[in-house]
């Protein structure tokens, strides 16, 4: 190896190397290389991987366009051991802080401003095996701007002992990764109960300490269907490990006498259940806004009456994220009755406007890079089960009542995001949603006309994301399906109206 390095160094002064007197481990060895660097930016790459021919050009191009960029990362794929085939492309979202604490999705290619590197410090040997994960977390905490280039510019060579193909070969690395995530939250002053192995090696499930015992107001619109409503509320009352709840049931033009008898009975049984009456025409936004006026909680949980709690710790899972200062909304994983996914986050642009991710995928199936089981940021989540801070709800004026039926929850998420607050999808907050898979969006000419009006209103309010694409998705992935499949760039255009295929 020294002979090869020496030959390069003799031909080109840009090649420099040092022979260490001892093996200082992966962090110490990398630090020795960094200490020789004189460039404005540092590029991190593994010795057995390769770069696309235009990888550095694309990075420099991005940096030259915005001098505040401190960190650049790119998409990547895998390279077989012989270097003859590329496979399994990983098309990533723009910077996604909660996904980064679930898994080191940034990984390669990673480029960092040299001054920022000196500020955050070199690699730390106590995180060897996940030293790059710890380093990336420290860099992204302090970076002025983080740029994602949605092109597979890094080819990660895959061999038997690589974590790319054989995770069990480096169990110590995943243990170090959990410690890196915990250290990240410690630096941010966010109290964490635990960071544990998630759905697979290298994927982490963080549970947060709940500060205090805040009241959560559960807002449930209801029209008849008292049996569904009873199942919904009792699942929370009886199964949830979080108990400081109140229920605001918004009665909406029910006609069945049994419904009103149920209201009387349930309010006598539980003093924290309150039924209030909405007497105007159906408007989902207005009904929920009306319900909130009766709520006393610091946090609001909007919930459909056809849902049922599965994970007893779901409220804590939501509240742990929602209590963070940088978070405004938490969404959940919703399953149909056959244990396939009904909701795992929302991508703006699916079907031309917006749609749920991973619809119809069985809960036991693997999703795209396991993202259905990773806490992560999305542009929106469904209000079929959505927690939000009451203070932020009031600040943005609640749900937009000009969106009576469709896209009001997506619009609400967009309004909260306009306050520079995050929307978090929490996969371990788990409910059934018994909504029919085959239910059509609209079934009368009047409903179709209203639906089209609401599409137009949403498009006029949020034209940028529909034009430019959802930053929490990737332009190389399809908008026609919810499974993160590769996009046919010849056929698909952002903002094109078409039905989302399940």
379-394 tens-digit pLDDT: 999 999 999 999 999 9
Looking at the chain, the domain(s) classified CATH 3.90.550.10 span: 24-208
Q: What is the dihedral of CA 344, 350, 351, 355, to 10 degrees?
A: 30
175-199 tens-digit pLDDT: 999 999 999 999 999 999 999 999 9
Looking at the chain, the domain(s) classified CATH 3.90.550.60 span: 216-468
Residue 136: CB partners within 8 Å, gap ≥ 6?
Answer: 100, 104, 106, 107, 110
At residue 147, the 3 state secondary structure works out as: strand
Residue 47: CB partners within 8 Å, gap ≥ 6?
Answer: none
Q: How many residues does the chain have?
A: 502
- Examine the pLDDT at 209 and tell me if it is beyond 60: yes
Give the orientation angle of helix 226-234 with respect to helix 257-269, to 10 degrees: 20
At the fourth CATH level, the homologous superfamily of domain 24-208 is Spore Coat Polysaccharide Biosynthesis Protein SpsA; Chain A (3.90.550.10)
| 374: enclosing H helix or E strand | none
CA nearest to 438, candidates 303, 302, 342, 364: 342
Alpha carbons 15 and 486: distance in angstroms, whole number:
38
Output the pTM of the full model. Answer: 0.93
Alpha carbons 460 and 205: distance in angstroms, whole number:
38
Whether 191 contacts 209, CB under 8 Å: yes
Q: Is there a cis peptide before residue 149, judged by omega within 30 degrees of 0?
A: no
Q: Token pair of 471, please? A: 């930053």
Q: pLDDT value at position 497?
A: 53
Looking at per-residue pLDDT, the higher value among 8 and 36 belongs to 36
What integer best gives the mean pLDDT of the chain?
92
255-305 tens-digit pLDDT: 999 999 999 999 999 999 999 999 999 999 999 999 999 999 999 999 999
Tell me which residue has tokens 């009542």. Answer: 401
Residue 371, phi then psi, degrees to nearest 5: -75, -20
Alpha carbons 461 and 380: distance in angstroms, whole number:
15
Could you tell me the fold of the domain covering 216-468?
Answer: Spore Coat Polysaccharide Biosynthesis Protein SpsA; Chain A (3.90.550)
Alpha carbons 177 and 184: distance in angstroms, whole number:
11
């Amino acid at each position: 190896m020294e002979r090869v390095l020496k030959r390069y160094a003799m031909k080109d002064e840009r090649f420099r190397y040092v022979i260490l007197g001892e093996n200082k481990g992966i962090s110490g060895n990398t630090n020795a290389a960094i200490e020789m660097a004189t460039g404005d930016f540092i590029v991190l790459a593994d010795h057995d991987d390769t770069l696309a021919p235009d990888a550095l050009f694309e990075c420099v191009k991005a940096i030259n366009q915005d001098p505040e960029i401190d960190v650049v990362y790119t998409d990547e794929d895998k390279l077989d051991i012989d270097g003859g085939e590329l496979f399994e492309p990983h098309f990533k979202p723009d910077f996604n802080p909660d996904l980064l604490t679930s898994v080191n999705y940034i990984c390669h290619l990673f480029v960092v401003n040299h001054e920022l590197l000196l500020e955050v410090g070199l690699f730390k040997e106590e995180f060897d095996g996940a030293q790059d994960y710890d380093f990336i977390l420290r860099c992204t905490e302090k970076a002025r701007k983080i740029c994602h280039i949605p092109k597979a510019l890094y080819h990660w060579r895959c061999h038997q002992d690589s974590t790319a193909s054989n995770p069990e070969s480096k169990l110590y690395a995943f243990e170090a990764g959990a410690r890196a995530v915990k250290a990240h939250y410690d630096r941010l002053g966010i109290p964490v109960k635990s960071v544990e192995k998630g759905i697979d090696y290298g994927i982490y499930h963080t549970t947060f300490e709940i500060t205090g015992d805040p009241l959560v107001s559960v807002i449930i619109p209801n029209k008849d269907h008292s049996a569904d409503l009873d199942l919904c509320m009792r699942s929370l009352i009886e199964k949830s490990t979080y108990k400081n709840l109140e229920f605001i049931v918004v009665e909406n033009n029910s006609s069945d006498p049994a419904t009103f008898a149920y209201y009387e009975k349930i309010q006598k049984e539980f003093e924290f259940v309150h039924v209030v009456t909405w007497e105007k025409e159906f408007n989902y936004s207005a009904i929920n806004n009306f319900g909130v006026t009766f709520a006393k909680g610091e946090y609001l949980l909007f919930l459909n009456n056809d849902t049922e709690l599965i994970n007893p710790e779901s409220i804590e899972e939501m509240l742990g994220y929602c209590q963070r200062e940088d978070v405004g909304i938490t969404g959940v994983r919703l399953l149909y009755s056959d244990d396939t996914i009904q909701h795992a986050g929302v991508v703006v642009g699916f079907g031309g406007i917006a749609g749920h991710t991973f619809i119809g995928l069985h809960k036991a199936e693997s999703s795209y890079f396991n993202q259905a089981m990773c806490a992560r940021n999305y542009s929106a989540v469904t209000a079929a089960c959505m927690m939000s801070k009451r203070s932020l709800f009031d600040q943005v004026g609640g749900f937009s009542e000009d969106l009576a039926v469709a896209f009001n929850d997506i619009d609400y998420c967009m309004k909260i995001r306009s306050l520079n607050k995050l929307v978090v999808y929490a996969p371990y907050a788990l409910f059934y949603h018994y909504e029919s898979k085959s239910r059509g969006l609209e079934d009368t000419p009047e409903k179709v006309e209203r639906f089209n009006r609401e599409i137009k209103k949403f498009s006029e309010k949020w034209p940028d994301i529909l034009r430019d694409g959802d930053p929490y998705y990737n332009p190389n992935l399809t908008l026609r399906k919810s499974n993160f499949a590769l996009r046919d760039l010849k056929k698909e255009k952002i903002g094109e109206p078409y039905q989302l295929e399940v």
